[in-house]
């Protein structure tokens, strides 16, 4: 499939993403410790600095934040670090990641059931648990169910859209996967709302488009988007893997 594919989708894709987009996680962009943790994990791959920043976030309770916001900050820091320990650190630190996620799950129990934060954080925790143990299919199923609930109840949220698009991208066809639909969602979000997104969400968006293009055999655009994502956050073994596949295609 030629390079025209993603250009065509970008220009003519139907408006599958709501015109009224919000980002309830946007307060994290202004949190210096969270931004530093994201940089340490995804840009530097620095385990010691990451652990230090994570512990600081877990101890602090910011007066400027509500109880809910403090909880969300701590849990998001937990999922960032746990994913790093499972996916990027060698040798893997799965036991440590499991302990971090178990504590994060206790924290989100205080959040309202079926709230946006509860659904998306639950989905994230379960996805990392499944990444750590691919034989635990229940975690993958739970993550998918919470993603679907979040997208149905909160379709205007950037995180709901990204989670749903990624679910469509990686799920097999018999389980509801749809690469073309995923690509459309990513491209629509990029076209209309990329200026509203945090750097980490934007990098995830580029990565999703790149992987979708690769799966659709649009290799030039796959390389361009994946390279863009990697330039923002170099520590990502999945992007490295797809760039290597692209070079061999």
Q: Kindly report, residue by residue over 176-191, the tens digit of the pLDDT.
A: 899 999 999 999 999 9
Q: Give the pTM.
A: 0.91
Q: Are residues 200 and 247 in the same domain?
A: yes
Q: HEC profile for 186-249? A: HHHHHHHHHHHCCHHHHHHHHHHHHHHHHHCCCHHHHHHHHHHHHHHCCCCHHHHHHHHHHHHC
> In the predicted model, what is the mean pLDDT of residues 66-72?
98
Tally of domains within the chain: 2
Residues 115 and 184 both lie in one domain: no
- Domain end: 104, 119, 154, which one? 154
Per-residue pLDDT band for 11 (boundaries 50, 70, 90) equals very low
User: Who wins on pLDDT, 219 or 20?
Assistant: 219
C-alpha–C-alpha distance, residues 57 and 186, integer Å? 31
Percentage of the chain beyond pLDDT 70 is 92
Residues 137 and 62 reside in one and the same domain: yes
- Within 8 A by CB and 6+ apart from 149, the residues are 114, 119
Last residue of a domain, one of 101, 132, 154: 154
State how far the Cα of 42 lies from the Cα of 34, in Å rounded to an integer.
12
Phi, psi of 56, deg, nearest 5: -65, -45
Coil, helix or strand for 98?
Answer: helix
Number of Cβ within 10 Å of residue 55's Cβ equals: 12
Are residues 142 and 30 located together in one domain of the fold? Answer: yes
The predicted structure's pLDDT at residue 175: 79
Instruction: Give the whole-angstrom CA distance, residue 190 versus residue 210.
Output: 13
Same domain for 128 and 228: no
| Same domain assignment for residues 35 and 129 | yes
Are 225 and 112 contained in the same domain?
A: no
Same domain, 138 and 211: no
Write out the residue range of the structural domain in which residue 175 sits.
Answer: 1-22+156-249
CATH of the domain at 237: 1.25.40.10
Last residue of a domain, one of 154, 187, 221: 154
Same domain, 105 and 176: no
pLDDT tens digits along 100-159: 999 999 999 999 999 999 999 999 999 999 999 989 999 999 999 999 999 999 999 999
pLDDT at residue 48 above 50?
Answer: yes
* Same domain? 248 vs 188: yes
Is residue 163 within 8 Å of residue 147, measured between CB atoms?
yes
Same domain assignment for residues 183 and 69: no
pLDDT tens profile 34-44: 999 999 999 99
């Amino acid at each position: 499939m030629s390079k025209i594919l993603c250009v065509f989708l970008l220009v003519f894709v139907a408006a599958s993403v709501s015109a009224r987009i919000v980002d309830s996680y946007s307060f994290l962009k202004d949190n210096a410790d969270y931004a530093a943790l994201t940089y340490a994990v995804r840009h530097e791959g620095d385990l010691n600095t990451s652990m230090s920043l994570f512990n600081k976030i877990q101890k602090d309770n910011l007066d400027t934040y509500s109880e809910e916001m403090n909880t969300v900050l701590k849990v998001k820091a937990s999922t960032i670090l746990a994913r790093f320990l499972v996916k990027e650190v060698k040798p893997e630190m799965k036991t440590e990641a499991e302990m971090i996620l178990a504590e994060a799950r206790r924290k989100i129990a205080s959040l309202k059931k079926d709230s946006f934060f509860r659904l998306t954080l639950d989905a994230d925790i379960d996805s990392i648990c499944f990444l750590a143990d691919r034989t635990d299919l229940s975690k993958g199923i739970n993550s998918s169910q919470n993603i679907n609930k979040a997208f149905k109840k909160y379709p205007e949220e950037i995180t709901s859209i990204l989670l749903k698009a990624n679910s469509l991208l990686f799920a097999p066809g018999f389980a509801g996967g749809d690469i073309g639909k995923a690509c459309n969602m990513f491209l629509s979000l990029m076209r209309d709302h990329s200026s509203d997104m945090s750097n980490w969400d934007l990098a995830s968006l580029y990565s999703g488009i790149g992987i979708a293009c690769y799966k659709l055999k649009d290799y030039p655009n796959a390389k361009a988007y994946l390279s863009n994502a990697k330039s923002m956050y170099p520590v990502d073994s999945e992007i490295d893997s797809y760039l290597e596949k692209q070079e061999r295609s």
